[in-house]
Chain A
Amino acid sequence: MDGPGITALTRTQERTAGAVPALAVEAVSHAYGARRALNEVSFAVPTGGFVALLGPNGAGKTTLLSLVSRLFDTRHGRIRVQGFDIARQPGAALAELGVVFQARTLDLDLTVRDNLLYHAALHGMGLAAARARVAAVLRDVDLSDRARDKARQLSGGQMRRVEIARALVHEPSVLVLDEPTVGLDVASKAAILEQVRGLSCARHVAVLWATHLLDEIEPGDSVIVLHAGRVLAQGSPADIVAAAGAADLRSAFRILTGIGPASADEAGGPA
């Protein structure tokens, strides 16, 4: 296990050249006792790419993201963040990773600014640098004016934007988000999706966006369809539609997962 300060120059050069995918998941399996949650899952997220991990409830998305963020130990397969193995070099890998969890994880008694400063400290950032970064990321998510408010005073959508800002404080090159729009109204969902897409584009941050909502996917995205712990298809929406022999992504999703219309509606509505 390494410390966070260890980085390989050659890795950095490869990363700059784009030779190493920002996030590589290779033949990863995971089980809860006898129940297998993930089965030989493999995919890659390129530097600056936006990849949607699409799957219904119970597909294994949260389990996968828990493995990516080292909350669970990877026992089968390998996960690499910017080339750093999360099991063998967790410090270097986690320094490259920003995580937005499905559950709210802000400390409600702290101010927005203090929540972000705490996160900066957890990444070893000095106070001056942390203050500057916190101001910058709050600007990025249009919440500079709420910095001194307690987290509990924010709306659900604003809390989510603060969590995204928090995940970006330490300038990660990979951002993983676990169903970040769950429980939000339509306008908030759209705003968050737009902000994350903008950040991905402007900052070359690779994004893995876990969702069960088909309407969050755009034609230019890469999509991984995960169901019952297996990757059923991956590629552009057009590729997936063509491979499934369907008319649109919604139909392709139904064909691939075998989930009927009622469940499909629950799982995301029309594409």
Chain B
Amino acid sequence: MNTTAVAPPRHRPGPGGYLICMRGVIWRESLRFVHQRARFLAALVRPLVWLVIFAAGWRQVLGVSIMPPYHTYILYSTYVVPGLMAMVQFFYGMQSSLSMVYDREMGNMRVLLVSPFPRWFLLVSKLTASTVISVIQCYAFLLAAWLWGVDLPQLAWISVLPALLLCGFMLGAMGMVLSSLVRQLENFAGVMNFVIFPLFFASSALYPLWQVQQSSPLLYQACQLNPFTYTVELIRFSLYSTMNLTALAVVAGCTVAFTAAAILAYDPARGLMARRQGAGG
């Protein structure tokens, strides 16, 4: 035992502690990301498969006519990039939520929640951390797409950043709401099948909405009600330094709504109770 008899002054966090706390959560998420390189590769390979195989196949079949924000005819591979960037963020948001269910079951969330900062702030910090990582993944994908020959405006690299931050936060918050509804990890696979894929396919990620409208008015209506459509369009317009106000309003509104719902719905007791079924103590 090496303890000394003199009690040091106790540490009490001040207002600047909020920033330190959020930085710590982002730092931990980044370290986990670095340690899980396979996860990074999987996140990168998924959209690249779509771009390199799926989009290449459709390239000769589908050209996209002039429509905002494009000023000329574009190749299908160019059209699909914003949707795939949104997909990267969507998957990471869900994956981060998945890790929250896991953390809740394994107890790591408890370490976060016994911090003296308000619970809403801790959850927002967690969302911010997952957003930062999803943006890094998006840039990695964008670089790969550019190397693959996808034509991008020079300013795209900078102009898309605010949209990626907002969309990443919204999709993370959506995932957090879903994770709050999931009692145990095993149930999450169902959420992936029933939420991610329908939202992705019923959006403008893979096909322009006017083409969807021609083939199925009902699907068109579904696409218009789908918030994921607006994340795709916000990213698409931002890449070309143009603002889609409707998309911005929907994404911002959904961000606020999902974040509020995630904070209200999050119940740390849920995972603990699941763990303790039949256990004592």
Contacts and interface: CB of A to CB of B under 8 A. Distances in A.
Contact of B107 (A104, A129, A212): A104
Contacts of A210: 281
B41 interface: no
A247 interface: no
A69 interface: yes
A212 to B, nearest CB: 8
Contacts of A194: 1
A171 B6 CA distance: 13
Contacts of B18: 3, 124
B71 interface: no
B65 interface: no
B24 interface: yes
B245 interface: no
Contact of B272 (A58, A71, A96, A129): A71
Interface stretch (B8-16, B54-62, B90-98, B209-217): B8-16
A24 B261 CA distance: 33
Contact of B118 (A1, A59, A107, A203): A1
Contact of A103 (B35, B107, B113, B118): B107
Interface string A52-73: 0000111111110010011110
Given A105-B108, A122-B111, A4 B3 contact: no
Contacts of A59: 280-281
B27 A105 contact: no
Interface in B126-183: none
B4 A202 contact: yes
B280 A107 contact: no
A94 interface: yes
Contact of B31 (A4, A109, A203): A109
Contact of A71 (B8, B10, B113): B113
Interface residues of A, number: 68
Nearest to A172: B10
Interface in A93-136: 93-97, 99, 101-105, 107, 109-110, 114, 117-126, 129, 133
Interface string B1-38: 11111011111111111101101110110011001100
A70 B11 contact: no
Nearest to B108: A105
Contacts of B108: 105, 107
Given A70-B114, A94-B115, A95-B13, A199 B31 contact: no
A125 B1 contact: no
Contacts of B110: 69, 71, 99, 101, 105
A43 B170 CA distance: 45
A123 B107 contact: no
B217 to A, nearest CB: 47
A139 interface: yes
A99 B280 CA distance: 19
B190 interface: no
B218 to A, nearest CB: 42
A204 interface: yes
A5 interface: yes
A178 B280 CA distance: 12
B275 interface: yes
Residue of B24, B25, B36 ringed by the most chain A CB atoms within 10 A: B24
Residue of A4, A96, A101, A194 ringed by the most chain B CB atoms within 10 A: A4
A7 interface: yes
B7 to A, nearest CB: 5
Contact of B116 (A60, A104, A123): A123
Contacts of B2: 139-140, 142
A157 to B, nearest CB: 15
A88 to B, nearest CB: 13
Contact of B3 (A57, A63, A124, A199): A199
16 contacts: A7-B12, A32-B273, A56-B280, A58-B280, A62-B279, A62-B280, A69-B114, A101-B111, A104-B107, A122-B24, A123-B116, A124-B116, A125-B13, A129-B11, A172-B10, A178-B281
